[in-house]
Amino acid sequence: MIKHLLLTAFLLCCVPRVMAQYIPIGFSSELRYREQIMGLDKKKHTSVKPYYISGKEQLTPVFPADTNAGWLKRKILYEHLVEVSDTDYIFNLDFLPDFYIGKDIAYKRTIWNNTRGARAEAAFKNGFTFSTEFYENQTVFPEYLDTLTRRQRAVPGAGNTKLIDSTGFDYGYILGHISYQGKYFNFSLGNDKNFIGDGYRSLLLSDVSFAYPYFRITADVGSIKYMVLYTQMMHPGTGPYVGDVGYQKKYGVFHYLDWNVTKRLSLGLFESVIWQNADTNGRKGYEWSYVNPVIFLRPAESSVGSPDNAMMGGNIRFRLTPNSALYGQLALDELNVEEMKANKGWWGNKFAMQFGYKSFRFLNVDGLFILSEWNMAKPYTYSFRTPSKNYGHYNEPLAHPLGANFVESVSLIDYRYRRWNVSAQFNYARYGADSVGGTNNVGQDIFKSYITRDQEYGNKLLQGQPVTLTYAQLKVAYIINPKLNLRLEAGVTQRNENFDGKADNTTIFLVGLRSSFRNFYYDR
């Protein structure tokens, strides 16, 4: 059945064949291209990432190469390490170093990172693209990230790890995809991350957690973009490998429909369902009733009597100018209108919201980007009765890094002048946590079963042990090669967390030679 479905969809592509351009997920990558993407015609959709740009809409680099420069100068300042191009294909190969050293002042801890990465990518005139990335890493984190890594048994955004002595971590991972771009359809198969939204965070599907295997189909027809995403994820939990099959596997299906109503207004509808591949009666395997790419998942989940974890939501973007927009999201995990009207704090009214503003030429200043964003999630949002079915992957959330039961504001400023880049970030967050060493569940930890909740009624946002978190960062960089985001960078971070009447405050300095477009959400 799957073969027939994929063959039919493939034949519906109705080429002309085009050279496609793949833009990986990464906030630095977006700042490099997003102004151009927002400047395209109203048919272009900005809320589904990674991007595949095809045909005449090819994006141009920030710094065009100096054709009169010598080979060595071009390779260092403008080009990929290996560039091979023809009328029918483009191939690039790069070495991606990420080296830094610094200090965690409060803990008198020397921090450093040693990443050796490589990336190969190609695009063909017949519509195929592929990329593969490999990273080998050794890292000594600041104290708060060291604690987080040990607690969740995974490096934030990078998966499994092993210890270096007692202070550092050794980990590696591979990312990659192969895709086909037709006139209306794109098919992508890979091991990577996906993102839905127009903000810095996503409350629907973000790139916070580790990469996962996926198959994605997107269709662009007129002002409509439709995506269906099939994934396999993992729930390591707190236990060891299980026999010879590794960690507990789970599956996810995600549907997203984005409609550009006008040149300014875009509306998106989202739904997802997550289930485990084994239950108390044995191995369950794949739920084939979810394979149909155009069904509504919640009715399908109910029709088979399946107790799986379904969620719905929406995304909105209103373009104020060609380079600025208001945006927002709503994630509905569970909602009972009668209970909401009763206003008794029923635990099951679980939802999350986002509002934001961004501009890529703020005050008409070239290279000046600003973003201001507000996020919140009610207690127990994204959790589930069976922890292995929660909205998470590899012991990290699939949405917001704080889990649930929080409010947060994020402010970003980024300015580029020629090869100089200055960026600043300030986060302020409050959340309610479980008591220290306790077994209670106030709804912040999405990896706890909501069956263990503290109470049925009387629940409210920020319940539990109050925690205040501020995160401020300033970075200055000189961009050596924009195609690799290779830069000399120096930064300072001030992180303050107040929990249970105790303050955990530190200042972190670092300097390094850095590259790649990967996102790591250390602002938590």
**pLDDT tens string 312-323:** 999 999 999 888
pLDDT of 57: 52
Q: What is the pLDDT of residues 350-387, one digit of tens each?
A: 999 999 999 988 898 988 999 999 999 999 999 999 88
Q: What is the pLDDT of residues 380-398, one digit of tens each?
A: 999 999 888 899 999 999 9
Q: How many CA atoms lie within 13 A of 346 on its CB side?
A: 14
**Cα distance between residue 160 and residue 150, in whole Å:** 11
**Cα distance between residue 413 and residue 489, in whole Å:** 16
Q: Is the pLDDT at 41 greater than 60, yes or no?
A: no
pLDDT of 46: 84
**Cα distance between residue 156 and residue 17, in whole Å:** 39
Q: How many CA atoms lie within 13 A of 121 on its CB side?
A: 19
Q: How many CA atoms lie within 13 A of 259 on its CB side?
A: 5
**Cα distance between residue 50 and residue 308, in whole Å:** 27
Are the C-beta atoms of 301 and 312 separated by less than 8 Å? no
452-464 mean pLDDT? 93
Mean pLDDT over all residues of the chain?
86
The DSSP bridge partners found for residue 248 are 235
pLDDT of 339: 87
Q: What is the pLDDT of residues 156-214, one digit of tens each?
A: 998 888 887 788 999 999 999 999 988 889 999 999 999 999 999 999 999 999 999 99
Q: Is the pLDDT at 475 greater than 80, yes or no?
A: yes
414-425 mean pLDDT? 93
Q: What is the pLDDT of residues 54-102, one digit of tens each?
A: 654 555 555 666 777 888 888 888 888 999 988 888 899 999 999 999 9
Domain 2-514, CATH 2.40.160.10 — does that match?
A: yes
Q: Which residues of 106-127 are buried (b: 16+ CB within 10 A; e: fewer)?
A: beebebbbbbebebbbbbbeeb
**Cα distance between residue 325 and residue 348, in whole Å:** 33
Q: Token pair for residue 198?
A: 């127009």
Instruction: Show me where the domains of the chain are located.
Output: 2-514
Percent of the chain with pLDDT over 70: 83
User: Phi-psi category of 251—alpha, beta or left, where left has phi over 0 and alpha has psi -120 to 50?
Assistant: beta
Residue type for position 438: G
**Cα distance between residue 31 and residue 124, in whole Å:** 26
pTM over 0.85, yes/no: yes
Q: Token pair for residue 356?
A: 């934001």
Q: How confident is the model at residue 282 (pLDDT cuts 50, 70, 90)?
A: low
